[in-house]
Chains A and B, each alone.
Chain A
Amino acid sequence: MFESLTEKLQGIFDKLARRGKLTEEDVDAGLREVRLALLEADVSYKVVKDFIARVKERAVGAEVMRSLTPAQQVIKIVHEELIATLGEPSKVDLSGTPPHVIMLVGLQGSGKTTTAAKLALRLRKAGQRPLLVAADTYRPAAVTQLEILGRQLDIPVHSEGVEVPPPTICVNALKRAEAAAYNVVIMDTAGRLHIDDEMMSELEHIKRLTRPREVLLVADAMTGQDAVRVASDFHQRVGLTGLILTKVDGDARGGAAISIRAVTGVPIKFLGVGEKTDALEPFHPDRLASRILGMGDVLSLIEKAQAEMDETQAMAMGQKLLQGEFNLEDFLAQLHQVKKLGPLSQLLEMIPGYSNISKEISPELTDKQMKRVEAIISSMTREERLNPLIINASRKRRIARGSGTTVQDVNMLLSQFRQMQRMVKRLGQGRGRRGLMSLFR
């Protein structure tokens, strides 16, 4: 696992004297690490070269802001340049007369069919009437796959089996859309290699016949150095208008996005972030930039927490905390809230510098411990949860048996809980809100 780039740079600049301006020496030392980070993130070799040259030009001689260290200053410039390279987020173009045709293209296994369904769902939620088109007659069961997804989402799918040539299917779909007033037509084409001339000609043919508003390249976030070649070949043959990056929910840093942007100049439209049909997110250049640099993705983590946490419940909990009335019942409720966010192992990976703590905390173990704690509390009666003081030896034995743990485990939980209660009480009484906030900093 990589350390965070910020830490690496910090290390380098710690050795250098602190000056008011960034010297060429400072910048070179720092940019060596930036180059490594970008290459590790699969940004194309040539794109990295140009990028580093651009940053260097900007950074040498730049004032180091009073509030920043030289390392932070370099990171800031790098980050800004990356954001500029990634470009502005862009919506799907639905201008002109309907039906608007959206064509999805890409390599095998990049995620076109799943993305087609996600995109259709998203557009329908925005008030459009989408029609999906099963134009992949090559991969076994690809047509069936889209039909099933369409049924699940209750979105119509135009399919004509696997014997009809894809261009004909697309033209017929367009006619059907016009007749039945579907205003968006999303065509799922077969995955193909960018060097497969015959298959690329087929795409050109479909494009000529259907005049799509959008030709979106669906690319896997894990793509390596070849991303440049794939994207530029597709761009050359069918004229891309945008990019959808898929499988962003893994731990790939997604450097391919930069490469593809750099060689095609087309905007990034969406990110695919999961297997569920609603897991399609708008693209945020700043977040992707942080991710590519290996700086974690705190914003997405916060957003996730906000989406899952019930706000009123959180407020009520805060009140209780402050008044020192926090009991095991509340603790259990909170545990359930945290669990809704997904396994800890996954959450931890979004935190910058996680690679360092990961050596000390095993996420799997933590998940297991959480489960054990939950089992213990669930084995208590409501009375016991509200007033843990009544838990005597015989009750402990019962709880241990009920939760499949030992009396020691129960004891440990109770003593940890008492500690927590004391700490919370002190914060609530003594320094009030400010004290409590310092916990989260």
Chain B
Amino acid sequence: MAAVATQLQTALRSQLFPLPSHAWLLSIVTNRDPPPPLASLMATARARILASDLTTPGLLDAAYTAAHTLPAHVINNIAMVEHRLAHDVVVQVADIENLSRSRWEQVEELETIERKEQRRGREIIRLPPAGAEGGDGDGVDAGSVAITQNLSSAPGSGGGGGSGGVKATHKLILQDCKGQNVFAVELKRVEGIAAGKTSMGEKILLREGTVIARGAVLLDPENCHLMGGKIDAWHNEWDDTRLARLKEAAASEVRH
């Protein structure tokens, strides 16, 4: 068993992927009898890591963790003009915000969806209500499809384009495996990052050489390796409170 775990760890070590601890791998392997083929064990291990909170004690290899965390002196250090990461750092997404559209514009859009409506140019479209209009179950599906489409492509909303618009600039909060949070901004557009599309808990590998300026990680497609993944509890919480947070943020600005 231990041999299989070691084999897995060796294989994973050669990949751009957070390295699990031997003990954790062993727990995966021992639960299976007879052990499945290595390839499927590998897939299981990867999927579990991607769905896990990287700060969970014992999850990652201690040496890997030590070598892949953010240097403490750059975090929130707005005095530091520029710092380049000397090694890869693995992080998970804790928040994302579209900076190209006003919060209020996003609030209005989310509220429209909440009313089961959608705007297409000037036209107001009624999203199929759950269970109504003869279609029974179909109505629900069509509705949720329309909602997700709206979130990811946000048609017809001018300004900086939709959440996933080509020109949008996003700001993220990233957390390393020690639980240190850092801001990140898209210096160049990174395909796959978008509010409503990026999942909370999604794993990102910041490659060696990534710039941190005034406390913010500058993302570009060259240094930002998206690995996917999602922590369901985080994401649901984020999704449920998004509208309220946007409202709060828009309103709080007025106060000062």
Check if A and B associate.
no
A residues neighboring B (CB under 8 Å): none
Q: Taking beta carbons and an 8 Å cutoff, which residues of B are in contact with A?
A: none
